[in-house]
Structures are given as C-alpha cells and as structure tokens.
C-alpha cells in the first residue's frame, strides 16, 4: 500500500520486460530493495536499470536515490501515524488514490499501465534536486547493493543492418509480400530482413528454447538396466511458449522502438521481451483493449494459420550484416576486464617456471644420453 509514496521506478525486469521495477529504502538493512509493482522482491542482477539510476560503473546515483527514498519513507510513516488534521487529510487523499492492494498492483505492475507523474513512485528525481545534494551526502556510509552485472550478450539491435544475400533477394521479397498480405502488416522490407537476421542469431546463440520429447519407449524399459536416452527436439520445431518466427518478425520493430531511445542501461533479451509481450497482448484482449497483433502464437482471428516463415525457411536464408554478429558476445571482454592482475601474473609465473623445468629436464636427459652412448670413434678403437 505504501509503494506509490515511498518507492521510485528504476527499471524493468529482465526476465519479464513488461513489468516495472521500483527501489525502496529498507531501514533494517539501511540499504535499497528492488520490488515489482505487487511488492514481490527481485534481485538486482535481474533488473535492466534506467540510466538515470545507473549509468556506467558509478554508484553515485544510487546514493542519491537512497537519500531521497529514506526521506520519503520517513515522512510517509510520520504522516500516517500522526494524529493531526493535516496528516489525516493526507492519509485520506492517499487512500482515495489507492484504496486497496489490488489498485496498487494494477497501477504499478505493468509498464503499459503506468501513468507517469501520477504518484511519487512514477516521478523521477528532478535534476535540480540532484545538483543540490552535496558531496557529503553522496559519500555517505550507507551500505549499497552491488549493481555490478556482467551480461554475456549485448542485445542492442541498432548501428547495423541485417541484409539478405543477392541470390536470395527475390525469394525474401516474395516472403515479405506474402507476410504483409497475410497479417495486414506495414513492416518494411529492410525491417523484415533485419528482424530475420537478429532472430537467426538468437537461435544460433541457443537463446530460443524449443520443445523436446523423450526417446525411451516405456514398453521396453527395465528399471536399473535400460540406460535413459537424452531428449530430442520435436520436429517440426516448436518454441516452449508457442510463439513462431512470424510472431517475432511482426513485433521486432517495436522492440527496437521501445529500447533504442537510450533510456535503459542495458537491453533485455528480445526473446524474453516477445514472450512477455504476447502475454501482455492476451491480457489486454481479456480486458477488451486493442493491441493484439497478427499473428498471435500462430493464430489469426481465432484460427490456426500457416506460417509464412518457419524455422526451416529461416535456417535456409543467408543473412549477414557486414561481419556484425547478433547478439554481440561480451563474455570474453568481461572475463579479461574483471580478472585480477595478480592472478594473471601468478599464472604467467607458473607457466614460466614450467618452461624452465622442462628446459632443464631436456638438458639433463641429453647429457646423460651422450655419456651412455659410445661414439663411432670409440667403437672403432675397441674393434
């Protein structure tokens, strides 16, 4: 109930990017906690933070937010526990805005439902407020949650353009025409091939999860004797949540539009975003809202439809982006950036010692061999 007044929006959930994440001050830990709009806790590693809250490796903004959130929390609980008429009026106005827990959940959980500036939690700190905080507050002793996160991939789809090879331009052009007619889509040919390139890269990076089936026949299994066979992919390929290649192609330009404005410090996985977006569309449909796109998990107007581009067709397309790969792998850079210099020097020293030991061993063996084997001149003398 207090979240709209003592929290502040700081990002989105990486696993469910349609859900907003808020920071709150925890007096017991003297630090920050991150929660969903329904109050459920979330780990900091799972948050795609707004750049206003986290930009780069500095935690200075976190201290500023911590100071403000501590102030909000203190003032709120003082107001609702005070018996003065002014505070009673404040409490009544707060309960008028959010009378129940479900009203808080409905207003703050999903990004599409947020009404910015409608409550303190949806109002960012003004720049002039941050500028007024002096260095003594910025360097406070409050313990901070570590926000160091080393993602494996960079999912930013901007700065390059996926293209089809010349030999397949006509084939992809026909698919694009069929796609726009089948789903009444206005997607351009450039966006169509760029989305196909990005999805193929996500599949090659094994970030798309497919249904699997067991290979053991229960009629011929003997307990303790029959070795279990590993599961295999279902053919034709089907994603675990039911979305299709066409679902991705139809919506990927909206992913680019939402996250290419530089608002977030890092971008969520497009696959996780798509799965959350499809669930969001279904939720809107149940509430008689517009926004359900074609196709929805292979369904158009309530009927199953034939896919224009399936996984086999996508695999046969020769797409490229001038040597650019998507998603961009960051683990190699992160590994060496985070590795301690002392560890590197220790490993190097051990390697040099190993080489030195091998060299000395070879010399000893060579000298002993020369002493054991008689020369040709000695053999002639003895003969």
What DSSP assignment string belongs to 137-179?
HHT------------SEE----S---EE-GGGHHHHHHHHHHH
Burial status of residue 301 (CB atoms within 10 A of its CB: 0-12, 13-18, 19 or more): exposed
Q: How many angstroms separate the CA atoms of 353 and 357, rounded? A: 6
Torsion sign (Cα): 91, 97, 100, 103: negative
pLDDT of residue 311: 97
Q: Which residues contact 129 (CB under 8 A, 6 or more apart)?
A: 68
pLDDT of residue 261: 74
pTM for this entry: 0.79
Phi, psi (rounded to 5 degrees) for 35:
-140, 160
Q: How many angstroms separate the CA atoms of 258 and 267, rounded? A: 10
Q: How many angstroms separate the CA atoms of 63 and 146, rounded? A: 12
- Exposure letters 338-371 (e unless 16+ CB within 10 A, then b): eeeeeeeeeeeeeeeeeeeeeeeeeeeeeeeeee
Task: Please give the share of the chain, as a percent, with pLDDT higher than 90.
Answer: 49
pLDDT of residue 16: 96
Distances (CA, A) of 74 to 198, 212, 325: 47, 52, 49
Q: How confident is the model at residue 380 (pLDDT cuts 50, 70, 90)?
A: very low
pLDDT of residue 173: 97
pLDDT of residue 208: 97
Q: Is the pLDDT of residue 58 over 90?
A: no
Phi, psi (rounded to 5 degrees) for 294:
-105, 140
pLDDT of residue 297: 93
pLDDT of residue 274: 97
Angle formed at CA 329 by CA 328 and CA 333, multiple of 5 degrees: 120
Q: Which residues contact 238 (CB under 8 A, 6 or more apart)?
A: 210, 211
- 182 in Cβ contact with 210 (< 8 Å): no
Q: How confident is the model at residue 137 (pLDDT cuts 50, 70, 90)?
A: very low
Question: Percent helix, strand, coil in the chain (nearest 5)?
Answer: 50, 10, 40
Q: How confident is the model at residue 163 (pLDDT cuts 50, 70, 90)?
A: very high
pLDDT tens, position by position, 71-96:
889 888 888 777 777 777 777 877 88
Q: What is the mean pLDDT of residues 147-172?
A: 91
Q: How confident is the model at residue 337 (pLDDT cuts 50, 70, 90)?
A: very low
Minimum mean pLDDT range among 17-21, 50-54, 119-123, 166-170: 50-54
- 243 in Cβ contact with 297 (< 8 Å): yes
pLDDT of residue 217: 81
Q: Which of 67, 75, 70 is nearest to 134 (CA)?
A: 67
Minimum mean pLDDT range among 33-37, 47-51, 69-73, 84-88: 84-88
Structure tokens at 150: 């080393």
User: DSSP 3-state assignment of 236?
Assistant: coil
What number of other Cβ atoms are within 10 A of residue 177's Cβ?
12
Q: What is the mean pLDDT of residues 249-260?
A: 93
- 4 in Cβ contact with 97 (< 8 Å): yes
Q: How confident is the model at residue 376 (pLDDT cuts 50, 70, 90)?
A: very low
User: DSSP 3-state assignment of 11?
Assistant: strand
Angle formed at CA 364 by CA 359 and CA 368, multiple of 5 degrees: 150
pLDDT of residue 243: 97
pLDDT of residue 366: 52
Alpha-carbon dihedral 34, 40, 45, 46, rounded to 10 degrees: -120
Highest mean pLDDT among 59-68, 123-132, 258-267: 258-267
Average pLDDT value over all residues in the chain: 82
Q: What is the mean pLDDT of residues 219-232?
A: 84
Burial status of residue 249 (CB atoms within 10 A of its CB: 0-12, 13-18, 19 or more): buried
Q: Is the pLDDT of residue 367 over 70?
A: no
Minimum mean pLDDT range among 53-67, 172-186, 287-301: 53-67
């Amino acid at each position: 109930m207090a979240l709209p007044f003592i929290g502040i929006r700081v990002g989105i959930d990486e696993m469910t990017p349609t859900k907003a994440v808020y920071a709150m001050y925890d007096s017991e830990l003297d630090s920050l906690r991150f929660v969903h709009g329904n109050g459920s806790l979330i780990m900091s590693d799972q948050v795609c933070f707004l750049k206003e809250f986290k930009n780069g490796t500095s935690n200075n903004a976190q201290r500023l937010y911590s100071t403000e959130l501590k102030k909000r929390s203190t003032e709120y609980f003082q107001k609702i526990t005070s018996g003065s008429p002014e505070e009673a009026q404040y409490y009544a106005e707060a309960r008028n805005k959010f009378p129940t827990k479900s009203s808080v959940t409905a207003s703050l959980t999903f990004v599409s439902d947020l009404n910015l500036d409608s409550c303190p939690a949806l109002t960012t700190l003004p720049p002039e407020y941050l500028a007024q905080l002096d260095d003594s507050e910025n360097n406070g002793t409050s313990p901070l949650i570590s926000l160091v996160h080393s993602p494996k991939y960079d999912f930013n789809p901007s700065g390059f353009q996926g293209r089809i090879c010349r030999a397949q331009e006509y084939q992809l052009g026909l698919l694009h025409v069929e796609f726009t007619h089948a789903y009444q889509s206005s997607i351009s040919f450039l966006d169509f091939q760029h989305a196909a390139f990005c999805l193929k890269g996500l599949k090659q990076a094994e970030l798309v999860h497919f249904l699997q089936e067991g290979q053991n026949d229960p009629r011929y299994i003997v307990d303790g004797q029959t070795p279990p066979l590993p599961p295999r992919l279902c053919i034709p390929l089907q994603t675990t949540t039911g979305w299709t290649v066409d679902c991705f192609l139809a919506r990927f330009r909206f992913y680019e539009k939402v996250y290419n404005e530089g608002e977030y410090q890092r971008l969520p996985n497009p696959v996780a975003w798509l799965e959350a977006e499809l669930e969001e569309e279904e939720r809107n449909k149940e509430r008689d809202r517009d926004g359900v796109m074609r196709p929805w998990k292979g369904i158009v107007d309530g009927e199953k439809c034939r896919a224009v581009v399936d996984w086999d067709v996508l695999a046969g397309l020769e797409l490229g982006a001038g040597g650019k790969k998507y998603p961009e792998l960051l683990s190699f850079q992160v590994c060496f950036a985070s590795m301690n210099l002392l560890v590197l020097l220790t490993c190097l020293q051990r390697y040099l010692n190993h080489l030195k030991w091998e060299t000395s061993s070879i010399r000893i063996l060579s000298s002993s061999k020369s002493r054991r084997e008689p020369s040709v001149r000695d053999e002639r003398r003895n003969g």
